[in-house]
Amino acid sequence: MLNPAHGGTDTGARGQNAAMEKDLVLQMARGVKAELERQGFRVVMTRNDDSNPSYDDRAAMANGYSGAIFISLHIASTGTVGTIRAYYDQLGTPYVPSNDAVDTTEKAAPAADAGLHSWNEAQRAYINSSHRLADLIQIELAQKFNGSADTSLGAAVRGLRSVAGPAVAIELSSVSAPDPAALANSAAAPLGDAVARALTAFRAAPPGGAKQ
């Protein structure tokens, strides 16, 4: 499940020449989808136009598919151009709305606990698998996008919090590039390949060796 963030009246980050994150991530998502499908993955997108489904609507789409993996795509307002980072939701950290995909003020994720959770904490039961997936994706991203970090980050990511399954956010830097549209276009294929490789590794060797 690919989730191009923002949409409609929610433009996300804004760059030069009226560039808007909502348009750039949709463009990038289409390229990522094409690469994933080329490699044999079935891909569904939460939006394929300038609509803006709610967080809960997007999560409900993912939750309606058995075994779905949710990947939310963003473009940062700042950062070193051409670098990219994967995030998993740091549950327990209050979400502060902003134009950025995540709030990275704290880094350590609390351990998952057992039992029933509210809709707004559906991700809690999957925090470990989401963390592992984010790390696998980041390893691949570091090889394809020079200057990118080697490890993922835990952060408050509201768009992941209601997903009942492995879920990560991926954020490209940045909308402040001289030509952000060209950046999003050029990033799509290597990003899709990185995600495909990480998903293959994630499925092949889940914790304890059990098939996910």
> Are residues 142 and 150 in contact, defined by beta-carbon separation less than 8 angstroms?
yes
Domain ranges in the chain are 2-209
Residue found under tokens 């690919």 = 2
**For 106-134, what is each residue's pLDDT tens digit?**
333 333 344 445 667 899 999 999 999 99
Supply the pLDDT for residue 112.
39
Question: What Å distances lie between residue 158 and 126, 147, 161, 176, CA to CA?
Answer: 15, 27, 5, 24
Calculate the average pLDDT of the chain.
Answer: 87
**For 146-199, what is each residue's pLDDT tens digit?**
999 999 999 999 999 999 999 999 999 999 999 999 999 999 999 999 999 999
- Indicate the pLDDT class of residue 91, thresholds 50, 70 and 90: confident
Supply the pLDDT for residue 206.
60
The region of weakest confidence among 42-46, 54-58, 104-108, 143-147 is: 104-108
The helix (H) or strand (E) run that includes residue 154 is strand 153-155
Question: What Å distances lie between residue 174 and 13, 34, 78, 138, CA to CA?
Answer: 9, 22, 5, 17
Superfamily of domain 2-209: Zn-dependent exopeptidases (3.40.630.40)
